[in-house]
Amino acid sequence: MGHRFESCPDHKLKAPARGHSGMFSKLLSSILFFIAWLISLLPIRLLYVKSTILSYFLKNIIGYRKAVIVQNLSRAFPEAKYKEIGLLTRKFYLHFTDIFIETLKGVSISRKALSSRLKVENPEVLTDLHKKGYNVIGLMGHMANWEWLSILPSYYDFPVYTLYKPLRSKTAEHIINKIRCRFGMNLLSMSAAPRYILNPAHKNSFYIFIADQSPARVENAYEYTFLNQRTTFFTGGAKLAIATKSALLFISLRKVERGYYSLRFIPIDCESGLSGDSDKRQLEQRILKEYARLLETEIKENPTDWLWSHKRWKHP
């Protein structure tokens, strides 16, 4: 196992909150975190019972984003019959609440227990790239339980970073980030990522990009056919990989059974040293097209493990 970090580095490069509102937010988050810790001490089997009840409640009583979920599934799998879409919808809700329960369990779960629930099939792929002096960028989607990737630093003796989008609620952000960094994960906000990764002082690290969200500015994105729809993709990961001559990996994360996951690193072929802006743009497109292909394959093989409640195609 790798080294442990004594703190939770959060590389947002901005001043901390001040005043009464900041103090209240910190106090509230501490209280809620303590409550979450108490709940997380329950046996995970009992927490899964609660997850099953919660999934029924979200689907049939509240109808949480049900229209979005059904529409996304129907468009992605146009050949599926009505009953099949209904079954996928029900299984997704259960998977969705399982992620919530498992993230909650992450407040108190031990390093050993979490390591037994998320297995890295080929850790040597990342280790070998690090030994060769490469900076490594990993691209993945919202598959399986991405929150449990917080255990990854335990496998390596070099820095591992995950990029995240700050939440509107600073209280919720403080709680979730405290869980994410329990086992040494470094947090890097999306706004700070380019400047931080481009700094030579931070090379020879591993950066995780969850790159399947809908980009806010579609004019700067590339568009591909993805799950039977024209879909735009973030260019940030590809651009930074080319600029820093980083190695690129696709992170395949799959659910083996309830509460157990497997991770596999898949190299993304990326030629380095191309000259000229046109060549770099072509390389960006090849990278993102291959990422989209790998992610689509993953989703089709494990359709209920993706985040269907996300408004992925909100931008025409």
Domain count, the chain: 1
Query: Does 313 reside within a domain?
Result: no
Which stretch of 47-56, 95-104, 209-218 has the lowest confidence by average pLDDT?
209-218
Query: Does 1 reside within a domain?
Result: no
pLDDT at site 11? 54
Q: pLDDT digits over 118-154, tens only? A: 999 999 999 999 999 999 999 999 999 999 999 999 9
Residues whose CB falls within 8 Å of the CB of residue 149, separated by 6 or more in sequence, listed in order = 118, 162, 185, 208, 251, 253, 263
Across the chain, where does the E strand assignment appear? 118-120, 136-140, 160-164, 186-189, 206-210, 222-226, 229-233, 247-257, 260-267
Query: Are the CB atoms for 281 and 275 separated by under 8 Å?
Result: no
Query: Does 109 reside within a domain?
Result: yes
- Domain with 297, as residue range(s), is 19-305
Amino acid letter, residue 308: W
DSSP-based three-state secondary structure for 87: helix
What's the rounded mean pLDDT across residues 89-116?
97
Query: Does 81 reside within a domain?
Result: yes
User: Is residue 171 within a helix (H) or strand (E), and if so which, with residue range?
Assistant: helix 170-180
Query: Does 275 reside within a domain?
Result: yes
Query: Does 31 reside within a domain?
Result: yes
pLDDT band at 170 (very low <50, low <70, confident <90, very high): confident
- Mean pLDDT of the residues in the chain: 89
Residues whose CB falls within 8 Å of the CB of residue 104, separated by 6 or more in sequence, listed in order = 36, 39, 40, 47
Q: Which of 253, 256, 4, 41 is nearest to 149 (CA)?
A: 253
Percent of the chain scoring above 90 in pLDDT: 73
pLDDT at site 282? 87
pLDDT at site 301? 96
Query: Does 5 reside within a domain?
Result: no
